Structure 1
Amino acid sequence: MAKRNKDQLSISDLVKEFVDSNRLQSGLDNVNVKEAWAQMMGNGVNNYTTAIQLERDTLYVQLSSSVLREELSYGNQKIIKMLNEALGKEVIKKLVLR
């Protein structure tokens, strides 16, 4: 556990310090990517999405429709850009549709 500071800190600073000291950022990024995918893609794509997994800087998305997979592969770079903008930082560099 981190040392106590006598200075007053905001809650956001304390949460950030806690996340950094306990190495939780990768898990939070994984959850945030799943939420961003659901919001950006909408119900139509979410109904065919079976699994989403973030490993390092690669997002793996498993789809149950081969037609949808092919359609989304055409806008691969645009999807990466939209998701990174929604997350507020560059988390995803590669998108793999399965």
Structure 2
Amino acid sequence: MAKRLNNESSIGDVLKEIIQQNKLQPGMDQISVKEAWASLMGNGVNSYTKNVVLKGTTLYVELTSAVLREELSHGKSKIIAMINEELRRDLVKDVILR
């Protein structure tokens, strides 16, 4: 049964409880990673980005440019570090560029 929060709980605490109770965290992580990718990579990379999906701790990025895919593959560790820093936790462990 759901735990009842007292009337003095902050909105943030209530939302965290709702997310935890309904197991919504993976979906929230998916949205956060997409937003982090868009803000960190900028318009140039985003124009060639077709899809960004987080499955477990692996980030799958679908690109329309083979040249860009090759360039980004050299900086995978930096991409992982930047995204995790943006999210303020270690969520992404690997990046697969397609």
Q: Considering the TM-score relative to the shorter chain, is it more than 0.5?
A: yes
1:93 and 1:39 map into 2 onto residues whose CA distance is 19
- Give SS of 1:96's match: strand
- Whichever residue aligns with residue 45 of structure 1, its letter is V
Gaps of 5+ in 2: none
Is residue 30 from structure 1 mapped to residue 36 from structure 2 by the alignment?
no
The TM-score, its normalising length taken from structure 2, stands at 0.96
Q: How many residues align?
A: 98
- Give SS of 1:50's match: strand
Distance apart, 1:30 and its partner CA: 0.2
- Whichever residue aligns with residue 18 of structure 1, its letter is I
2:5 and 2:49 map into 1 onto residues whose CA distance is 45
- Give SS of 2:2's match: coil
For 1:75, the equivalent position in structure 2 comes to 75
Question: Pairwise CA RMSD of aligned residues?
Answer: 1.1
1:4 and 1:21 map into 2 onto residues whose CA distance is 12
Gaps of 5+ in 1: none
